[in-house]
Structures are given as structure tokens and as C-alpha cells.
Amino acid sequence: MRDGTYGICEGCGLNIPVARLEAIPETPVCIKCADDIERGMRLPTTAPDFKLAAALETEEEVQSQLDRA
């Protein structure tokens, strides 16, 4: 809260809806980004140098990113 980023999605930069923050106050991502992470379309934001998995061309590139994390 002190750095002014509470309630801002770490995945897309949009505001996290209040209802989601009330349900899961510690969530770093909105429901859309959370769904993307679960479906493997986005790497979790806690991984260093996270990128959209969809932007990576091959499975090998995704694995390489995960190996570096």
C-alpha cells in the first residue's frame, strides 16, 4: 500500500476489482490474469523477468524462461 501499487494488477496494470480484493486481499493479479496464469498463457508474476507465455514462440522458449526463474 505504501508504494501506491495496491489494487493494481501486476499482470496487466489495470485496477483489480474491489470484490476480488475483498475476497483475496493479497492477490497481485486480476481475475483475467489469474485465469491466464492457470491456463499457462502467462507466467506467474512472481517469476523473475516474467513474460506473456503467449508471446513466446515455442515450448522450448517457455521452458527456458522457467529454467532461468
The three cell numbers locating residue 68: 532461468
The CA–CA distances, whole Å, from 56 to 3, 64, 65, 67 equal 31, 10, 9, 14
Element spanning 67, H or E: helix 59-68
Q: Give the tens place of pLDDT for each residue, 18-39.
A: 999 999 999 999 999 999 888 8
Q: Give the tens place of pLDDT for each residue, 2-14.
A: 667 789 998 888 9
The three cell numbers locating residue 14: 489495470
Q: Where are the domains of the chain?
A: 18-68
CA separation for the pair 40, 24 (Å, rounded):
21
